[in-house]
């Protein structure tokens, strides 16, 4: 069985490759993913399909070159924090964006059960405004 650190590390590696299936491989069926209010995908999405439809599909549709760049993972056992930054160009406006972000992961029994994002939504909103 993979460690919680390996699960999160594998998720980020899959994200860098654009491999959504691998990103969701270790996610619990009732995972709760919370994106900050004010973020393009703001809200809490429950279950892998809701996450894919309401987060990854939206970001892929509305942003060119959207990516998360990992700088550090803080391993707290059942809770981990990924720190890095988002970047991309809003398709509608052509404006570039870069914003710091922290992801808080909660894992249990080898599965991601919760995820919460903290980022500067103003920087994202500015890129989305003509």
Q: Which is nearest to 21 in space by CA: 29, 11, 31?
A: 11
Structure tokens at 73: 């993972």
Query: What average pLDDT score do residues 76-97 get?
Result: 97
> pLDDT by residue (tens digit) across 12-67?
999 999 999 999 999 999 999 999 999 999 999 999 999 999 999 999 999 999 99
**For the chain, which domains are there?**
4-128 (3.10.450.50)
Cα separation, 110 vs 130, whole angstroms: 43
> pLDDT by residue (tens digit) across 87-105?
999 999 999 999 999 999 9
The pLDDT value recorded for residue 1 is 86
């Amino acid at each position: 069985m993979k460690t919680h650190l390996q699960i999160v590390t594998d998720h980020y590696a899959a994200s860098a490759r654009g491999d959504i299936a691998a990103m969701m491989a270790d996610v619990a069926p009732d995972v709760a993913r919370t994106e900050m209010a004010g973020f393009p995908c703001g809200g809490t999405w429950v279950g892998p399909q809701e996450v894919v439809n309401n987060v990854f599909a939206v970001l892929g549709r509305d942003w060119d070159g959207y990516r998360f760049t990992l700088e550090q993972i803080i391993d707290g056992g059942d809770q981990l924090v990924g720190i890095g930054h988002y970047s991309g160009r809003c398709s509608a406006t052509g404006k570039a964006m870069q914003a710091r972000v922290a992801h808080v992961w909660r894992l249990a029994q080898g599965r991601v059960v919760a995820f919460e994002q903290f980022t500067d939504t103003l920087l994202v909103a500015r890129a989305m405004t003509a």
